[in-house]
Amino acid sequence: MEVIAKRPETLTKTPFTYCPGCLHGVAHRLIAEAIDEHGLINSMAGVAPVGCSVFAYKFFNFDMAEAAHGRAPAVATGMKRARPDMHVFTYQGDGDLAAIGTAEIVHAANRGEHISVFFVNNAIYGMTGGQMAPTTLPEMKTTTSPYGRNVDDIGHPIRVCELLATLVAPYYIERVSLLSPAEIIKAKKAVDKAIRYNKEGRGFTFIEFVSTCPTNWGIDPVKSRDWARENMLPFFKPGVFRDKGEGVE
Amino acid sequence: MKGNEAVAEAAIRSGCRHYFAYPITPQSELIEYMAKMMPKVGGTFLQAESEVAAINMVYGAAGAGKRVMTSSSSPGISLKMEGISYIAGAELPAVLVNVQRGGPGLGDIQPAQGDYFQATKGGGHGDYRLIVLAPSSVQEFADMASEAFDLADKYRNPVMILADGMLGQMMEPVEFREAKTQAEIDALGKQHNSWCICPNEDGDRKHHHEINSLEIDPAMLEKHVEKLYEKYAVIEKNEIQYDTYNLSDANEVLCVAWGTASRVVKSAINELTAAGKSVGLIRPITCWPYPYEAVAAAIGPKVKEVYVFELNTGQMLDDVKIAVNGKVPVKFWGKVGGIVFTPAEIQAKLEACFDKE
């Protein structure tokens, strides 16, 4: 019998701890498939963040480090510098990467660290129960913006890909979305490219996934995707911001 | 050679090939020495964007099983404390150098010993211990580099060398006692492969190593912390170091001082000895584990007072009181603000102990 779908070798058998309808599982799987396909299971190492994906170190079936909140790019820097023969990535959410860890991501990108960063943006803090994120949309209600995000008071959401694209060093920056099978297939290609560039030692690669949080948005999983399409994608526009391998500067 | 340069050179000779730090006075010669020398030995020098990033780079490199060091001075060490707690929790070997300056806050840039509490009693969050080595000369500062790496590797625990601006800036002759060969350094780089982040060399994935301080299950965390404390008990049993000076049954006063302060006390003791007054000194070399029993045992039959001298407001004093346990009175005198007391000042304080008779 032909096997047409199976668990990637680079995912452990530990069941995911994510909420029903959460897209972290999809993002994990895309990364694991790409690592499998590039034959990197023996040389891959990842860094998990603080946030919903804090247990990512249990889910990926290779060496993993769990970082302090926001510090994954610094930890990955130390790991990659100590083990240049390994391929290193971080997996981070919006609070981890774009609030508390802003300095670490900007400077790791600016140094052109030879790591991949996978950034999941769902515009809210999930693990701590739905607080405002640096990517929370204007007027969006969260537990710490109960009257809606007031941009005059707390500023506008941060577009991380655009921010990092102002730097010279990054090799590849792309924003994708995970809101439909077609978008997931597109995202898979981006992840595959990031892992390939990582394998080839090209430099710093960054993929942002526009995702959802049905639990903390209080919207069911299917409608969450519609909500993200209508509200997030116009602000966080998918696209390639940098791809030195394809001449996109 | 300046202490800051000597400890950097000694670290390189001990097989340290990874160094991450952020500039701060009075330790800047250390980071500058590393910037100059690491490329020459094929090592990694990286000036991080902050102390916070630097200590997390240390976490990454230590997690990858390599000898790694960072250095800073007091305000920068405060920033590193979060990462130090994670390093201790994840049981990673790493060496940290604190070239202390005056505090609190931004303080000043002169020598001080105000970080004793931070180094020995916590600093970061949670139940953990740092091994803390306190040098009192440039030679000892340098020697402690290789010792610190050996202890860190032996116990999988962070080790701090607690120096100060005086030791960092002062120039003294140094003899480097160690120079590891490339083969030895390569072997060191593999010593932690049973648990660290490392490639699977036989090409058939067998391991899933986790570098982590998270234990979400309270029962598991309790076990983890108990295991840490069993390790700390072994360190307390095996690794206590101290030095004594002019210790004898004739001593009428016993001084306790560490680091730079102990040098000044030694000079004062020489003057008093010449004047026929017997004063002894015990100098903790490990501030943690602390030589409680040795301090108690150093109290001679004629000692009427134990005198603690520090460049702070009395931080080691608490440990001395625990050691003395009420046996004789414990006095304290210190200077703060980055001002180092003079031998004459210490001599006057000690003479007053004799005048009372």
Is B93 part of the contact surface with chain A (CB cutoff 8 Å)?
no
Length in residues, chain A: 249
Contact between chains at A82 and B64 (C-beta distance less than 8 A): yes
Cα gap B113→B260, rounded to integer Å: 9
Whether B198 sits inside 8 A of A86 (CB atoms) is yes
Q: Quick check: A243 contacting B, CB < 8 Å?
A: no
Q: H-helix or E-strand containing B163?
A: strand B158-164
- CA A82/CA B94 separation, integer angstroms: 13
What is the average per-residue pLDDT within B270-296?
98
Q: According to the model, what pLDDT value does residue B357 have? A: 54
**Is it the case that residue A76 has pLDDT exceeding 70?**
yes
Question: 150-169 in A: which are within 8 Å (CB) of B?
Answer: none
Domain contains A9: no
Query: Measured between CB atoms, which of B197, B203, B214 is closest to A79?
Result: B197
> How far is A160 from A143, CA to CA, in rounded Å?
23
Asked if residue B73 lies in contact with residue B100, where contact means CB atoms within 8 angstroms, the answer is yes
The second-level CATH assignment, the architecture, of B244-355 is: 3-Layer(aba) Sandwich (3.40)
Average pLDDT, chain B: 96
- Which range is least confidently modeled, B1-10, B77-86, B207-216? B207-216
Give the pLDDT confidence score for residue B356 in this predicted structure: 65
Query: What is the residue extent of each domain of chain B?
Result: 3-188, 244-355
Nearest CA to CA, how far is B119 from chain A (Å)?
20
CB interface of A with B, residues 101-120, below 8 Å? 103-104, 106-107
β-pairing, A239-243 with A205-210? unpaired
On the question of pLDDT at B96 being above 70, the answer is: yes
Percentage of chain A modeled with pLDDT above 90: 98
Q: Could you write out the DSSP letters of every residue in B294-312?
A: HHHHT--TT--EEEEEESS
Chain A nearest-CA residue for B20: A78
The minimum CA-CA distance between B66 and chain A, rounded to whole Å, is 6
Count CA atoms closer than 13 A to A218's CA, side-chain side.
7
Closest CA to A159 of A214, A80, A241: A241
Q: How confident is the model at residue A208 (pLDDT cuts 50, 70, 90)?
A: very high
**Whether the Cβ atoms of residue B235 and residue B289 lie closer than 8 Å to each other:** yes
The verdict on a CB contact (< 8 Å) between A9 and B205 is yes
Picking from A79, A88, A97 by the largest number of B CB atoms within 10 A of its own CB, the best residue to mutate is A79
Domain containing A170 — which CATH number?
Answer: 3.40.50.970
Any domain includes A8: no
Q: Lowest-confidence range among A177-181, B115-119, B167-171, B174-178?
A: B174-178
What is the average pLDDT across B324-342? Answer: 97
pLDDT for A136:
98
**What is the rounded average pLDDT of the residues A198-227?**
97
Instruction: Select from A50, A75, A110 the residue whose CB has the most chain B CBs within 10 Å, as the one to mutate to test that interface.
Output: A75
Q: How many domains does chain A have?
A: 1
Those of residues 33-92 in B touching chain A at CB distance below 8 A are 44, 46, 48-50, 52-54, 56-66, 68, 82-83, 86, 90
Count of CB contacts below 8 A, A vs B? 133
Q: Left (φ > 0), alpha (ψ -120 to 50) or beta: where does B100 sit?
A: beta
CATH class of B3-188: alpha beta
Query: Residue A97: its chain B contacts at CB < 8 A?
Result: none
Residues of chain A positioned with their CB less than 8 A from the CB of B65:
82
Interchain contact B95–A (C-beta under 8 A)? no
A81 contacts B208? CB cut-off 8 A: no
Q: What is the pTM of this model?
A: 0.97
Is it true that the peptide bond before B104 is cis, omega within 30 degrees of 0? yes
The answer to whether B56 contacts A68, with C-beta atoms less than 8 Å apart, is yes
Q: Which domain holds residue A200?
A: 24-246
Contact at CB, A63 and B207, closer than 8 angstroms: yes
| Residue A11 forms part of a structural domain | no
Direct distance between the N- and C-terminal alpha carbons of chain B, in angstroms, rounded to an integer: 45
Structural contact between residues A242 and A172, judged by C-beta atoms closer than 8 angstroms: yes
Contacts with B54 from chain A: Cβ below 8 Å: 74
The amino acid that residue A121 corresponds to is N
Round to whole Å and give the CA distance between A173 and B137.
51
Contact A42 B62 (CB under 8 A): no
Tokens of A111: 């140094």
pLDDT at residue B203 above 80?
Answer: no
| DSSP assignment of A167-199 | SSS-SEEEEEE-SSHHHHHHHHHHHHHHHHHHH
Q: What is the DSSP string of A195-231?
A: HHHHHTT---EEEEEE---HHHHTS-HHHHHHHHHHH
- Residue B55 parent element (H or E): helix B51-63
Whether residue A10 is contained in a domain is answered as: no
| Sign of the C-alpha dihedral computed for residues A127, A128, A129 and A135 taken in this order | negative
CB of B210 within 8 Å of a chain A CB? The answer is yes
Of B46, B50, B66, the CB nearest to A103: B50
- Considering only CB atoms, which chain B residues are within 8 Å of A79? 60-61, 63-64, 197
Which residue in the set B60, B82, B205 is minimally distant from A65, CB to CB? B60
Candidates A12, A65, A67; nearest CB to B208? A12
| Strand, helix or coil for residue B338 | coil
List the B158-164 sheet strands across, edge first: B44-47, B18-21, B68-72, B94-100, B158-164, B131-133, B286-288
Q: Does B309 touch chain A (CB under 8 A)?
A: no
pLDDT tens digits, B243-257: 999 999 999 999 999
Cβ pair A119, A92 in contact under 8 A? yes
**Distance from C-alpha of A102 to C-alpha of A119, rounded to nearest angstrom:** 12
| Inter-chain residue contact A77 with B44, CB threshold 8 Å | no
Contacts of A96 in chain B (CB under 8 A): none
Helix%, strand%, coil% for chain A, nearest 5: 40, 20, 45
Dist CA B102 CA B243 (whole Å): 26
Query: Are A92 and A51 within 8 A, CB to CB?
Result: yes
Please give the structure tokens belonging to residue A153: 């008071």
Mean pLDDT across B283-297 = 98
Going from the C-alpha of B69 to that of each of A200, B89, B139, the distances in angstroms are 29, 18, 19
Whether B224 and chain A come into contact, CB under 8 Å, resolves to no
Cβ neighbours around B105 below 10 Å, total: 9
> CB of A99 within 8 Å of any CB in chain B?
no
Question: Do residue A75 and residue B57 have CB atoms under 8 angstroms apart?
Answer: yes
Q: Looking at residue A142, what is its pLDDT?
A: 97
pLDDT tens for B58-87 read 999 999 999 999 999 999 999 999 999 999
Average pLDDT over residues B302-311: 98
